[in-house]
Structure 1
């Protein structure tokens, strides 16, 4: 895919456009019970909350209590919290939802979130490149993972840097895991910017 010729932003801080979060919520808003990885009545945790872009969309829709943390304090939630060093999720949390840092940290975020949610039969929702599940070394998180539910693919490419004028290069998807729905065939959903 080549290099972008742009320097990476410190700590991979790329705020999630609100339409990306609304898009996946709309796919599941009317689904009930076990066939829905989004826990609309549960407490939830955003462990890379940044300035609260995902939280601002979820708060009016998810009725449970919000926990928002980040390694770097950016004016929202609690700063100084290294998600990968957390031994357990906050009490009552049944869903971890975030846009994780990229590279090797993304895989560590997913694996750690799955470990934290397993004891409570919780859900994990992570935003990553659409082809993230195409790596042989990551099959343990997808095809070979009992809680893998599927992915919701955005048919509109997000613009990560506000005010940028170049064409976005990559497609992204929300990856979904749900420990209540083990060993099911993964599903693919699609949404676009409205």
Structure 2
């Protein structure tokens, strides 16, 4: 069975206020995930164990996962009234759950790639899975193809 690849924030990227260079981007890359995206993932994948949503925002992904019966740990760098705010996933050393599912901020300077790297580090520790929700353009970058082939 083919597994969809879903990606989120970057490990080495700096977190900053709204970017003046890219004024059309939402502050702190806050773009809530439509519930249909998470339901589509769950229609083709299942996860054993609890799930960490490290960029939970307003809980869009977490709420769908919880409704599907999963135990979810929800954190975010910014407190948006859902989950635990003030948690920098990119600096986290200890996984908070076996699996990670998120829609990372894409940002600039490799923010999405850093999220993927950190999530894979945690998954190696827990034996869990990583699902990152990314736009198609993220998958097309020639530097990423070998990485996705090594770790689908």
Report the TM-score range of the alignment, normalised by the length of the smaller protein: 0.7 to 0.9
Higher relative contact order (CA 8 A, sep 6+): 2
If the length of structure 1 is used for normalisation, what is the TM-score? 0.62
Q: Hey, what's the Cα distance between the residues in 1 that align with 2:80 and 2:53? A: 14
Higher helix fraction: Structure 1 or Structure 2?
A: 2
Q: Hey, what's the Cα distance between the residues in 1 that align with 2:113 and 2:69? A: 26
The structure that has the greater radius of gyration is: 1
If the length of structure 2 is used for normalisation, what is the TM-score? 0.79
What residue in structure 2 maps to residue 105 of structure 1? 111
Relative to 1, partners in 2 of residues 1:112 and 1:140: Cα closer, same or farther, differing over 3 Å?
farther
Q: Please tell me whether the aligned partners of residues 111 and 141 of structure 1 are also in contact (alpha carbons under 8 angstroms).
A: no
Q: Hey, what's the Cα distance between the residues in 2 that align with 1:85 and 1:140? A: 25
Q: Post-superposition shift, 1:130? A: 1.3
Note if 1:96 corresponds to 2:100.
Answer: yes
CA-to-partner distance for each residue in 1:92-129, whole Å, 9 max, x for gaps? x2210000011411000001100111122210011111
Listed as ranges, the matches of 1:74-93 within 5 Å are 74-90=80-96, 93=97
Note if 1:128 corresponds to 2:145.
Answer: no
Q: Unpaired segments of 5 or more residues in structure 1?
A: 29-37, 149-194
Q: Hey, what's the Cα distance between the residues in 1 that align with 2:91 and 2:69? A: 26
Superposition RMSD on alpha carbons, in Å?
A: 1.6
Note if 1:45 corresponds to 2:49.
Answer: no
Q: Hey, what's the Cα distance between the residues in 1 that align with 2:24 and 2:37? A: 24
Q: Post-superposition shift, 1:27? A: 2.3
CA-to-partner distance for each residue in 1:41-80, whole Å, 9 max, x for gaps? 41110000000000110002143x3110000000000000
Q: Please tell me whether the aligned partners of residues 44 and 94 of structure 1 are also in contact (alpha carbons under 8 angstroms).
A: yes
- Displaced runs of 4 or more, over 2 A: none
Note if 1:19 corresponds to 2:36.
Answer: yes
